[in-house]
């Protein structure tokens, strides 16, 4: 006698669930995989605000470096005329000082603007790759030694937040057309289920 093939389908495990277990959490129009939390997603907007503040400080610094670059040759010329044994500075040196200072001012201005735009994009959950580039560009403040410690800390914090799996999913949901508030609500519900 041949055994009934249906007998192989019967499992004697009493702990086997009788119903299908959902592998997704659905909140409104958003489907999230189970086990994902919104801890990092809630911090994306904090990173955005910090980037805007950092960018504003960088832009302010660039203005002062630009002013300093053009005033420094005059200050050095005045110091040389007040010193009886001093030699006047060659005009080429004055030009080099002004050009180097202006170049630094432009570089810091570019970093500041990148951080401001990156912060705005972070608040809106848009352009994750560009935000990461803006965070890394903050390391260019090494040239002036101003804002380097805060840029470095913001880079580390921003990388932790933006490279998390839940944050990548949040940016992808935004790219697919979901609203920021809707995304935040979905991840808030996901976090509360943990």
Q: What is the DSSP string of 42-109?
A: HHHHHHHHHHHHHHHHHHHHHHHHHHHHHHHHHHHHHHHHHSTTPPPPPHHHHHHHHHHHHHHHHHHH
Range of the domain at 102: 41-192
What pairing do the DSSP bridges indicate for beta strands 24-27 and 30-33? antiparallel
Average pLDDT over the chain, rounded to an integer: 85
Non-local CB neighbours of 32 within 8 Å, separated by 6+ positions: 24, 25, 26, 169, 186, 187, 190
Q: pLDDT: is 88 or 126 the higher one?
A: 126
How many domains in the chain? 1
Q: Is residue 7 part of a domain?
A: no
Residue 6 lies in a domain: no
88, part of any domain: yes
pLDDT at residue 21 in the model: 46
Tell whether 63 is covered by a domain: yes
**Which residues, in sequence order, are bridge partners of residue 33?**
24
Cα–Cα distance for residue pair 69/95, rounded to 1 Å: 10
Q: What is the pLDDT of residues 103-156, one digit of tens each?
A: 999 999 999 999 999 999 999 999 999 999 999 999 988 888 778 889 999 999
């Amino acid at each position: 006698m041949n055994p009934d093939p249906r007998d192989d389908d019967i499992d004697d495990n009493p702990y086997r669930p009788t119903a299908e277990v959902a592998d997704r959490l659905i909140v409104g129009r958003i489907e999230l995989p189970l086990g994902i939390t919104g801890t990092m997603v809630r911090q994306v907007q904090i990173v955005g605000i910090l980037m805007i503040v950092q960018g504003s400080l960088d832009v302010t610094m660039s203005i002062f470096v630009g002013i300093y670059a053009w005033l420094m040759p005059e200050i050095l010329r005045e110091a040389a005329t007040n010193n009886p044994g001093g030699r006047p500075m060659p005009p080429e040196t004055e030009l080099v000082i002004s050009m180097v200072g202006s170049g630094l001012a432009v570089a810091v201005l570019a970093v500041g603007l990148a951080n401001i735009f990156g912060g705005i994009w972070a608040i809106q959950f848009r352009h994750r790759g560009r935000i990461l580039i803006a965070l890394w560009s903050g390391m260019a403040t090494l040239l002036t030694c101003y804002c380097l410690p805060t840029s470095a800390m913001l880079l580390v914090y921003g990388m932790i937040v933006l490279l998390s799996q839940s944050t990548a999913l949040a940016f992808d949901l935004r790219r697919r057309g979901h609203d920021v508030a809707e995304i935040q609500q979905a991840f808030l519900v996901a976090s509360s289920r943990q």
